[in-house]
């Protein structure tokens, strides 16, 4: 064989290896369904690396040895936002907008004058925080729960719309920009076509496609996804840096630095101006190259914004005026009954597929049998289907016109369609329930799905298909039994390769360390959502105290009404539930316990602090929360009532004011001491 012949063979082998590795990467990272063991995979990669080391001329940029930003991450690191990422209050009707404007004028003491608003489309993507240091993109994070997001820097760096370095000069040394990552409709169609051609499942809509693409652990996958970005506001900026005084000017400034902003933004005056903008955008919505689900109005003057402040998780100075949900008519083909976590039977309409708001809908909820009767819906009817954002599509009612001759009545089954247990209807309630409890596979499945979900114990990797198999095989009949699974056992199930089995085992190990609020939420007590779970955990401090609480005690808690109190009390009275809780604790599920709110010492009660500058080792929100937990008040401005100003690095005018008023100034070390004062 000639030397040339050998070189060609080597090149061919390298190409083949690249192809095989790419194939297995895809199976592993995207499909979560590996075909070969880690060792076999490593062998392929090692061979390719060997060839490339010997023949550097064979290295191509798309080689798996040359991935964008290095190897894929195992998970995203948490990022604490310097300022919480808030949401917006929603309005759905003209009256909501008028009320918003009225309140704004009242708060600003300008009843007679029209306010200038910055009007922007409400982009339908996902919020992202970009942190620039010395003009270079240093970090990107998702919104997460608003306090803590995920570090997606590697992925965001692949989004070509997001500048890696800023144009011009004059930007602060470090600052944060917030905006929306989204996918244009045409890009979405093309992406889905490509995925389908490759035999993969496409995304439901551009929003899911954007979110799914940004949360890829492998930046190389994200790099292949056509994502777009518009900035919509500032995040954290140094205290000594003056932003432009108006929201509109801030967006113009972003544009000057090369950060994309939405070209549809516009300043409007008063409600009339806002309504005109809303109507125009509603009309042009379909022509825009991207999905929007409403418009946002923000008080343009940033000093006015500051004066208005925030309520709960949203600014008082902004409102999202949402477009009405889209509706279409189609035919009702049949009705199935789905059993939920609490046994409730929901009639689900099977429909002739119809495109509603860009999504093909073939199933929609009919809510319950009372609604079916009230709307007088029969199988075979033409019905109106509505879909709003991410909510489940619903059958709104019967379409107009004559009823066709051969329609059939929708009848409730005699027994649970999943476990054949009797079904019952509570006195005066619309819901019909399966009485099978955890004997019913559907209820078990739903309870497990809830238990592993993100806001509950957040056990990654336990998808619907795996849970279905676990329940069917009788491997897991309650959440505690999940923790008896190990990698060995998990590999017995379909689509679980050795690597994912290992990951699942690790996810279970990690989930054992949780918080009381998550644990209470995960239990799936009827009507106990996240907020209630947090209120219960905060109030009682320990699970024991919560389990012993009387209905009266429970009712006395803010966010807990009489119905919820009864559900909570009944839940803990049930021996089976107590057994599962015991088993969970025996399996090692634990959380830090605190004392009940009422018994926690409040050594700082009656004191008022102001925080300024960046405190070493502690985000300002955390300092503020911890001071408040000890009974202190934390305010934003220095006055005669201020006990002390706590100043970190780069303090602003607040420090000067404190000095002028002769108010004590504490540093980070003094703050630490304060937080540990008995």
- Among positions 51, 86, 439, 547, the unique one binding ligand IVH when judged by CB under 6 A: 86
Q: How many residues bind ligand IVH (CB under 6 A)?
A: 15
511-514, long-range: CB within 8 Å, 24+ apart, which pairs?
511/452, 511/457, 511/458, 511/459, 511/589, 512/483, 512/587, 512/588, 512/589, 512/590, 513/590, 513/591, 514/457, 514/589, 514/590, 514/591
Max Cα–Cα distance, the chain, nearest Å: 93
Residue 504 as a binder of ligand IVH (CB under 6 A): the answer is no
Q: x/- contact string, 475-494, with ligand IVH (CB under 6 A)?
A: --------------------
Residue 81 as a binder of ligand IVH (CB under 6 A): the answer is no
Whole-angstrom Cα distance, residue 665 to residue 571? 50
Residue 320 as a binder of ligand IVH (CB under 6 A): the answer is yes
CB of 185 to ligand IVH, least distance (A): 16
CA 287 from chain centre, in angstroms, equals 28
Residue number, 251 or 448, with CB nearest to ligand IVH: 251
Residue 208 as a binder of ligand IVH (CB under 6 A): the answer is no
- Smallest CA-to-CA distance from 379 within 347, 419, 425 is with 347
CB of 231 to ligand IVH, least distance (A): 9
User: Of 358-417, which residues contact ligand IVH (CB under 6 A)?
Assistant: none
- Among positions 115, 209, 296, 452, the unique one binding ligand IVH when judged by CB under 6 A: 296
Whole-angstrom Cα distance, residue 394 to residue 619? 43
Whole-angstrom Cα distance, residue 496 to residue 32? 8
Whole-angstrom Cα distance, residue 218 to residue 25? 10
CB of 643 closer than 8 Å to CB of 608: yes
Using the rule CB under 6 A, give the single segment among 7-15, 313-321, 354-362, 558-566 that binds ligand IVH.
313-321
The residues, any chain, with a CB within 8 Å of residue 424's CB and separated by 6 or more, are: 432, 433, 435
Residue number, 91 or 135, with CB nearest to ligand IVH: 91
Q: Is the dihedral of CA 614, 619, 621, 624 positive or negative?
A: negative
Residue 251 as a binder of ligand IVH (CB under 6 A): the answer is no
Residue 315 as a binder of ligand IVH (CB under 6 A): the answer is yes
The residues, any chain, with a CB within 8 Å of residue 56's CB and separated by 6 or more, are: none
CB of 122 to ligand IVH, least distance (A): 4
CB of 159 closer than 8 Å to CB of 227: yes
For the beta carbon of residue 411, count every other beta carbon within 10 angstroms.
11
* H or E stretch at 338: strand 326-339
Whole-angstrom Cα distance, residue 125 to residue 372? 34
CB of 28 closer than 8 Å to CB of 216: no
Strands (E), 423-564: 423-425, 432-434
CB of 299 to ligand IVH, least distance (A): 11
Residue 528 as a binder of ligand IVH (CB under 6 A): the answer is no
Whole-angstrom Cα distance, residue 186 to residue 184? 6
- Smallest CA-to-CA distance from 370 within 304, 426, 434 is with 426
Residue number, 302 or 539, with CB nearest to ligand IVH: 302
Residue number, 321 or 462, with CB nearest to ligand IVH: 321
CB of 97 to ligand IVH, least distance (A): 16
CB of 192 to ligand IVH, least distance (A): 23
Radius of gyration of the chain (CA): 29
Residue number, 232 or 493, with CB nearest to ligand IVH: 232
Residue 233 as a binder of ligand IVH (CB under 6 A): the answer is yes
Q: Phi first, then psi: what are they for 95, rounded to 5°?
A: -60, -35
Residue 291 as a binder of ligand IVH (CB under 6 A): the answer is no
Residue number, 104 or 520, with CB nearest to ligand IVH: 104
Residue number, 221 or 318, with CB nearest to ligand IVH: 318
Residue 231 as a binder of ligand IVH (CB under 6 A): the answer is no
- Smallest CA-to-CA distance from 224 within 366, 492, 26 is with 26
Q: Phi first, then psi: what are they for 650, rounded to 5°?
A: 50, 55
Angle at 7 between CA 6 and CA 10, to 5 degrees: 90
Q: Is the dihedral of CA 284, 285, 287, 290 positive or negative?
A: positive
Whole-angstrom Cα distance, residue 523 to residue 536? 13
CB of 540 to ligand IVH, least distance (A): 32
Of 122, 298, 322, 654, catalytic: 122
Residue 180 as a binder of ligand IVH (CB under 6 A): the answer is yes
Using the rule CB under 6 A, give the single segment among 312-320, 401-409, 578-586, 592-600 that binds ligand IVH.
312-320
Residue 232 as a binder of ligand IVH (CB under 6 A): the answer is yes
CA 154 from chain centre, in angstroms, equals 19
Residue number, 15 or 275, with CB nearest to ligand IVH: 275
CB of 627 to ligand IVH, least distance (A): 24
Residue number, 265 or 449, with CB nearest to ligand IVH: 265
For the beta carbon of residue 342, count every other beta carbon within 10 angstroms.
18
CB of 525 closer than 8 Å to CB of 568: yes
CB of 621 to ligand IVH, least distance (A): 15
Using the rule CB under 6 A, give the single segment among 81-89, 210-218, 326-334, 654-662 that binds ligand IVH.
81-89
Residue 318 as a binder of ligand IVH (CB under 6 A): the answer is yes
Residue 608 as a binder of ligand IVH (CB under 6 A): the answer is no
- Among positions 36, 48, 127, 504, the unique one binding ligand IVH when judged by CB under 6 A: 127
CB of 247 to ligand IVH, least distance (A): 9
State yes or no: is 122 an active-site residue: yes
Residue number, 209 or 361, with CB nearest to ligand IVH: 209
Using the rule CB under 6 A, give the single segment among 30-38, 314-322, 372-380, 538-546 that binds ligand IVH.
314-322
Residue 152 as a binder of ligand IVH (CB under 6 A): the answer is no
Using the rule CB under 6 A, give the single segment among 122-130, 347-355, 488-496, 648-656 that binds ligand IVH.
122-130
Residue 123 as a binder of ligand IVH (CB under 6 A): the answer is yes
Residue 507 as a binder of ligand IVH (CB under 6 A): the answer is no
Residue 259 as a binder of ligand IVH (CB under 6 A): the answer is no
Q: Which residues bind ligand IVH (CB under 6 A)?
A: 86-88, 120, 122-123, 127, 143, 180, 232-233, 296, 315, 318, 320
Positions annotated as catalytic residues are 122
């Amino acid at each position: 064989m000639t030397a040339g012949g050998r070189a060609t063979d080597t090149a061919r082998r390298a190409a083949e290896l690249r192809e095989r590795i790419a194939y297995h990467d895809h199976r592993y990272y995207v499909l979560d369904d590996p075909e070969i063991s880690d060792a076999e995979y490593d062998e392929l990669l090692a061979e390719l690396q060997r060839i490339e080391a010997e023949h550097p001329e064979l290295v191509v940029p798309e080689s798996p040895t040359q991935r964008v930003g290095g190897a894929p991450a195992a998970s995203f690191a948490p990022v604490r936002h310097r300022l919480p990422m808030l949401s917006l209050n929603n309005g759905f009707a003209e009256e909501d907008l008028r009320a918003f404007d009225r309140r704004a004028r009242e708060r600003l003491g300008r009843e007679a004058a029209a306010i200038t608003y910055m009007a922007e489309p409400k982009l339908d993507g996902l919020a992202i925080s970009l942190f620039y240091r010395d003009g270079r993109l240093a970090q990107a994070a998702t919104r997460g729960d608003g306090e803590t997001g995920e570090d997606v820097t590697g992925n965001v760096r692949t989004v070509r719309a997001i500048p890696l370095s800023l144009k011009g000069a004059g930007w602060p040394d470090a600052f944060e920009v917030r905006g929306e990552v989204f996918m244009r409709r045409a890009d979405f169609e093309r992406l889905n076509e490509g995925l389908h051609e490759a035999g993969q499942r496409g995304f439901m809509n551009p929003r899911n496609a954007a979110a799914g693409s940004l949360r890829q652990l492998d930046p190389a996958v994200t790099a292949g996804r056509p994502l777009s970005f518009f900035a919509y506001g500032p995040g954290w900026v140094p205290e000594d840096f003056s932003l432009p005084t108006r929201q509109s000017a801030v967006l113009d400034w972003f544009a000057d630095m090369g950060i994309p902003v939405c070209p549809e933004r516009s300043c409007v005056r008063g409600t009339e101006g806002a309504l005109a903008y809303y109507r125009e955008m509603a009309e042009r919505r379909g022509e825009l190259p991207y999905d929007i689900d409403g418009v946002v109005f923000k008080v343009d003057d940033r000093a006015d914004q500051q004066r208005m402040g925030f309520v709960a998780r949203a600014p008082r100075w902004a409102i999202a005026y949402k477009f009405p949900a889209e509706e279409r008519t189609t035919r009702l083909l049949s009705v199935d009954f789905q059993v939920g976590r609490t046994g409730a039977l929901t009639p689900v309409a099977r429909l002739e597929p119809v495109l509603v708001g860009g999504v093909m809908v073939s199933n929609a909820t009919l809510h319950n049998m009372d609604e079916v009767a009230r709307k007088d819906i029969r199988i075979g009817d033409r019905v109106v289907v509505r879909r709003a954002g991410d909510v489940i599509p619903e059958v709104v009612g019967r379409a107009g016109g004559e009823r066709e001759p051969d329609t059939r009545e929708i009848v409730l089954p005699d027994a649970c369609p999943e476990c054949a247990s009797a079904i019952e209807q509570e006195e005066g309630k619309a819901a019909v329930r399966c009485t099978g409890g955890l004997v019913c596979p559907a209820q078990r499945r739903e309870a497990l799905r809830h238990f592993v979900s993100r806001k509950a114990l957040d056990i990654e990797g336990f998808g619907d298909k795996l849970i279905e198999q676990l329940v069917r095989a009788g491997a897991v009949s309650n959440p505690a039994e999940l923790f008896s699974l190990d990698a060995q056992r998990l590999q017995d199930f379909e689509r679980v390769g050795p690597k994912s089995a290992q990951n699942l085992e690790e996810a279970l190990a990690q989930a054992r360390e949780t918080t009381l609020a998550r644990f209470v939420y995960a239990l799936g007590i009827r009507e106990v959502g996240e907020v209630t779970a947090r209120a219960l955990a905060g109030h009682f401090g320990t699970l024991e105290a919560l389990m012993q609480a009387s209905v009266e005690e429970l009712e006395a808690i803010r966010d807990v009404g009489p119905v919820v109190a009864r559900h909570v009390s009944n839940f803990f009275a049930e021996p089976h539930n107590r057994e599962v809780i015991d088993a969970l604790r025996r399996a090692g599920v634990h959380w830090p316990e605190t004392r009940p709110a009422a018994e926690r010492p409040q050594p700082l009660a009656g004191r008022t602090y102001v925080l300024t500058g960046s405190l070493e080792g502690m985000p300002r929100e955390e300092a503020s929360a911890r001071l408040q937990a000890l009974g202190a008040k934390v305010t934003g401005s220095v006055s005669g009532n201020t006990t002390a100003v706590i100043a970190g690095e780069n303090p602003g005018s607040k420090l000067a004011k404190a000095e002028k008023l002769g108010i004590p100034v504490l540093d980070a070390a003094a703050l630490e001491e304060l937080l540990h004062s008995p």
